[in-house]
Amino acid sequence: MEVERIRIAGVPVDIIRPEHMEEALFELLASSGTKQIVFLSVWNLLKARHNTEYRLCLENASLILPVSKSIINGAVFLKKTKPVRYNPFSALISFFTILETRYRSLYLLGGHKGALVESERNVHATFPGLHIVGRYTGYFSKETEKDILEAIFKSNPSMVLLADGIPSGVAWPYMRRNSFGSSIFVYYKDALSIFSKRKKRVPDEVFNAGHEIWHEIIANPLKIFLVFPFIWYIIVLVWDRIYSKA
């Protein structure tokens, strides 16, 4: 698997070309144990610096794919190998396409019932060769979680897509890694909302320009205050560059 792992502000980030993704996925499926692909934003990069649980999740992830342009720019500023930036939804489509070529399986977990049902229908219509072996809504109780863990273990899907309503989000499969077989877990909060067409995805031209934050601010004006952690990110990068030369 042609993957290079670098560190930005002390947090691991993987570099993998899209043309190598198919080989990487099937190598992961051939290995034992729970695997995880993480979409890493600059905000979650900062979170990993002070959240031990999240940091451990990243350190043990099979692939950490950067989604923020700021992470790419940070790598360049630190004079490291430039990572490939991934659009989470486009990456999911790529994963499903790759898995469908060998008739692999998928489990859907998250969202409310309506979004989950519509997502299953739309994914099945688009990827008829990808077998959906199970599904369950998010926002479940601790008692129900035991049944979900058992269902995923028994069906042992090639990939488990996690969306909104999953406690602890991206860290959920890592904290329960001993409860699964050899599945690959991918968390993308908006996945089922987009697949069910209840939420529009960010246009490619907006994402490619790195302007998706403005869509988030329009939807939630309070996110304007993210400017403060972003300033901290810049300070950390500058400090790391100075320290690396010391």
Percent residues over pLDDT 90 in the chain: 85
Q: Give pLDDT tens digits for 36-63.
A: 999 999 999 999 999 999 999 999 999 9
Sequence letter at residue 149: L
Predicted confidence (pLDDT) at residue 117 exceeds the cutoff of 60: yes
DSSP secondary structure string, 61-130? Answer: -SEEEE--HHHHHHHHHTTPPPPPP--HHHHHHHHHHHHHTTT-EEEEE-S-HHHHHHHHHHHHHH-TTS
Range scoring the smallest mean pLDDT among 76-80, 83-87, 213-217? 213-217
User: What six digits make up the tokens of 78?
Assistant: 């630190």
Predicted confidence (pLDDT) at residue 124 exceeds the cutoff of 70: yes
Q: Where are the domains of the chain?
A: 4-195
Percent residues over pLDDT 70 in the chain: 98
Predicted confidence (pLDDT) at residue 246 exceeds the cutoff of 60: no
d(CA 182, CA 30): 8
Strands 131-136 and 4-8: unpaired
By the 8 A CB rule, do 185 and 37 touch?
yes
- Neighbouring-strand partners of residue 163: none
Q: Tokens 């998010």 label which residue? A: 138
d(CA 226, CA 206): 19
Average pLDDT, the chain: 94
Q: Which helix (H) or strand (E) holds 135?
A: strand 131-136
Predicted confidence (pLDDT) at residue 245 exceeds the cutoff of 70: no
d(CA 13, CA 228): 23
User: Nearest CA to 160 among 113, 87, 99, 114?
Assistant: 99
pLDDT of residue 195: 97
Whole-model pTM: value is 0.94
User: What six digits make up the tokens of 169?
Assistant: 């989000």
By the 8 A CB rule, do 119 and 108 touch?
yes
Q: Give pLDDT tens digits for 164-186.
A: 999 999 999 999 999 999 999 99
- Tell me, what DSSP letter sits at residue 139? S
Q: How far is CA 44 from CA 50, 52, 100, 177, 202, in A?
A: 10, 12, 30, 21, 19
pLDDT greater at residue 171 or residue 221: 171
Q: What average pLDDT does range 98-117 have in this prediction?
A: 97
